[in-house]
Structure 1
Amino acid sequence: MSLGPVEYMVIEFPGNQFKGEIVPALREVVDKGVIRIIDLVFVRKDEQGNVNVMELADLQKDAADAFAPLAREASTLFAEEDIGKISEVMEMNSSVALLLFEHVWATRFRNAVLAANGRLIAGERIPREVVDAAVAWKPEEQEALEVTP
């Protein structure tokens, strides 16, 4: 099986307040074939720092039923070491969802690059805050600030 680019994402929910609000948005990108979930793990950290790791099968029935269609092909690729690193940086009394997913949309492009003897030599996700600041930046206002004594 040829995989497109694979990425992981860790989403933290302070106060252990995850109630599944992200499921519809996640379902949309999975159903449209934009991504394919490869692994999905949930981690809880209580007020004392005790960590509880849950795979999809370990969730309560309603949560498991919501996520099951999204992770039909999910396997267990996150290692204990991965989860240990995440639990070290988690806030107390929080939950995280670890998501390993394939960018299905990019598979054809990746194959074309390879067929053209191309190779990816750099790439990075740009944080939302950096993009927002760049979009909001107005050069005319910056120049006005520079010429004002």
Structure 2
Amino acid sequence: MTLGPVQLIMLGFDDPQCSGEIRAELDWLRDSYVVRLLDAVVVGKGADGNVVLVEENDLNDDEYDDPGAVLGALIGLVDDAGEVDDGSGEGREPGSVAGAGDSWVLDDLLPAGMYAAIVLVEHRWASGLRDSIRRAGGVHLIDAWIHPEDLVTIGASEPS
């Protein structure tokens, strides 16, 4: 099976108990074969600045063999033995995600007192497009999300 492009997404919330509407939308995307949820965790940042695992995801065995392991390792909440960190910070780089030559630091992104749902999704819809681009000799140069609010701002600043 060919793996499609994978994206790491972090979404902030004031309350870790989000409505079921988000899960329902993820289920629809998965059932429509648009994305596959590879992993998901919820973390919180206390007033003391410590980032801790609030809850592991609710993926079933068909979706993932070891829920939370991939993201837990990426964000430094799982120790070398694969155990959930107790919050002491021993033996890990606090809140850092290893990337291709850079580091994504939760401590900088997540304000104290907030929670974040961090998901790793495979974009199944893009596999064929990506493969055809490669066959044509194309290479990935950059990607970015442009939020609708940014487009409105850009449109409002355009001269008439």
Give the structure-1-normalised TM-score.
Answer: 0.70
Q: Structure 2 unaligned runs (5+)?
A: 77-95, 99-103
> How far, CA to CA, are the matches of 1:112 and 1:55 in structure 2?
36
Amino acid at match of 1:6: V
1 CA distance for matches of 2:142 and 2:51? 35
CA spacing shift, 1:91–1:138, aligned 2, 3 Å: closer
**For residue 82 of structure 1, what is the aligned residue in structure 2?**
97
Q: Does the aligned pair in 2 maintain the 1:27–1:70 contact within 8 Å?
A: no
Counterpart for residue 156 of structure 2: 137
- Whether 1:103 and 2:123 are equivalent positions in the alignment is yes
1:7-51 Cα deviation digits (max 9, x unpaired): 111000024453433111111111111011112111022344343
Higher relative contact order (CA 8 A, sep 6+): 1
1:114–1:74 CA distance, 2 compared to 1 (3 A): farther
**Identity, % of aligned positions:** 25
1:25 matched residue in structure 2: 25
Identify, as 1 or 2, the structure richer in helix. 1
SS in 2 for 1:25: helix
Q: Any unmatched runs of 5+ in structure 1?
A: 57-63, 144-149
Segment of structure 1 superposing worse, 116-125 or 7-16: 116-125
| Alpha carbons 1:40, 1:74 under 8 Å: kept | no
Aligned-pair RMSD on alpha carbons? Answer: 2.9
Partner of 2:132: 112
Higher-Rg member (1/2)? 1
User: CA–CA distance in 2 between the matches of 1:34 and 1:90?
Assistant: 28
Structure 1 Cα separation of the partners of residues 124 and 70 of structure 2? 18
What is the Cα deviation at residue 70 of structure 1? 10
- Secondary structure, aligned partner of 1:100: strand
Closer, same or farther in 2 for the Cα pair 1:97/1:21, shift >3 Å?
same
Consecutive aligned runs of 4 or more in structure 1 exceeding 6 Å deviation: none
CA contact (8 A) 1:44 1:51 kept: yes
Question: How does the TM-score come out when normalised to structure 2?
Answer: 0.66
**Do the aligned partners of residues 102 and 35 (structure 1) sit closer, same or farther apart at CA in structure 2, a change above 3 Å counting?**
same
Alpha-carbon spacing, 1:87–1:71, altered in 2? closer, same or farther (3 Å): farther
Alignment of 1:38-53 (within 5 A): 38-53=38-53
Letter of the 2:63 counterpart: R
**What is the count of residue pairs matched by the alignment?**
130
**Does the 8 Å contact 1:39/1:74 carry over to 2?**
no
Residue 126 in structure 1 maps to residue 141 in structure 2: no
